[in-house]
Amino acid sequence: MNRRLLIIVLFILAFVGLLLHYRIHPFVIADKLTPEVKIFDPTKFLSFMFPLLDLIVVTILFLSKKTAVYGYLLNGIIVIYGTIFMAHYSIAEMFAKSIPLEHILLKSTLPDIAIAWADFFVGKVLYELYMREK
């Protein structure tokens, strides 16, 4: 398989994850007292760091065989942490709002978690391609 194409797919998945994450946790929000004024929320920006790391650092690490192992490791750590955080957020939200279990596919973060794991598996294939090279 073409390594360049896999890097593009890895980048696109990370970019989509970043956009979805910003939609759920925007760190530039309207002020409660004056809604026309936008303010920076540093707590939400911290949650923005995982997909940003995935987009920039992981993609750069996968550009070279020498650093691909670090890209694979960082990508895995981000996906595991992201899965735990998103699942917790989703479960807590569902219980808080009493959302019925039949809505779990559409009202949860399960699709977002699937995107994160797809990103990981693309990275895994990319890493294995590098390791097969001599």
Confidence of residue 8 (pLDDT cuts 50, 70, 90): very high
Q: CA-to-CA distance for 117 and 34, rounded, in angstroms? A: 40
* Cβ contact 60:14 at 8 Å: no
The pTM for the full model equals: 0.86
| Structure-token pair, residue 87 | 């699942």
Query: Is residue 39 left, alpha or beta, with left meaning phi > 0 and alpha meaning psi from -120 to 50?
Result: beta
Confidence of residue 35 (pLDDT cuts 50, 70, 90): confident
Domain extents for the chain?
A: 3-132
91 CA to centre of own chain: 18
Per cent of the chain over pLDDT 90 is: 54
To the nearest whole number, what is the mean pLDDT of the chain?
Answer: 90
* Cβ contact 42:29 at 8 Å: no
Query: Torsions phi, psi of 78, nearest 5?
Result: -60, -40
pLDDT at 92: 82
Exposure string over 96-119, b if 16+ CB within 10 A, otherwise e: eeeeeeeeeeeebbeebbebbebb
Query: Which residue would you say has higher pLDDT here, 44 or 107?
Result: 44
pLDDT digits (tens, 9 = 90+) for 49-68: 989 999 999 999 999 999 99
